[in-house]
Structure 1
């Protein structure tokens, strides 16, 4: 038996409204549930869908103490390359910290990394696993990176 895929991603945040604004402004998230004062889980929570139809990603946010150290642990969302400049402007306009990009091999894709107000690291990535593995294979000694 194995997993059939990702179910959802949950972020603990200090301000639900502020995080909702980030999710909708940057990722086009649509809220589909708000617990309000009812708590079926550990605290107040909201659910969002990012993307379209059956492939939409379910993101949950929950009220809590979210003081996190800044690390490279992150979640990456697929975006179109041509949207990266506008997304960078939106992120900057929200007062969020953009992390300098890591070094990259030409052709593996472009990304914007940014921290939300609670220290979660997000990546907006324009590229695919298939593209990245093809580039790595072409540049690796012997041309094999496994897959």
Structure 2
């Protein structure tokens, strides 16, 4: 039985550039690197960069990372000031910054949780919402 996410691996075209982005811009902890990849972590999440040919998607698929409400404004402002590309404006509950990594992977920096989203849906349900 699945108990959670073990790790996330993303394809990167330039290991040094991606390592710099995730370590120095997003403040992930870097642990090891080798010719074809690197292991980082953020919170309890194991995050792997793997050299390959990325295939950025044009759909809404993205990875969202937790940011505390007390740190969001300063953190988001710093990232935007570094010239990181924003791919979407936030329209949902909770503060969010939607950004692209150097290979065009869609990321979200988000304040909130499943519980806060469900509470918001009680107040403003999506079209066709069904509680399961």
| TM class by smaller structure | 0.7 to 0.9
Q: Partners of 1:71 and 1:115 in 2: how far apart? A: 13
Q: Partners of 1:133 and 1:121 in 2: how far apart? A: 23
The runs of 5 or more residues in structure 2 that have no matched partner are none
Bigger-Rg structure (1/2): 1
> Which residue matches 1:48?
40
Residues 14, 64 of structure 1: 8 Å contact kept: yes
> Which residue matches 2:34?
35
Post-superposition CA distance 1:67-126 (Å, at most 9, x none): 42443210000001232222223322433211232422xxx3110000112110000000
Residues 97, 110 of structure 2: 8 Å contact kept: yes
User: Helix, strand or coil: the match of 2:39?
Assistant: strand
Which stretch of structure 1 is more off in the superposition, 84-93 or 14-23? Answer: 84-93
The runs of 5 or more residues in structure 1 that have no matched partner are 37-43
Greater percentage in helix: 1
User: Helix, strand or coil: the match of 1:113?
Assistant: strand
Post-superposition CA distance 1:53-77 (Å, at most 9, x none): xxx1000001122242443210000
TM value normalised by structure 1: 0.77
Counterpart pick for 1:100 among 88, 92, 99: 88
Q: CA RMSD in A?
A: 2.1
How many residues are paired up? 130
Residues 9, 48 of structure 2: 8 Å contact kept: yes
Q: Partners of 1:66 and 1:140 in 2: how far apart? A: 36
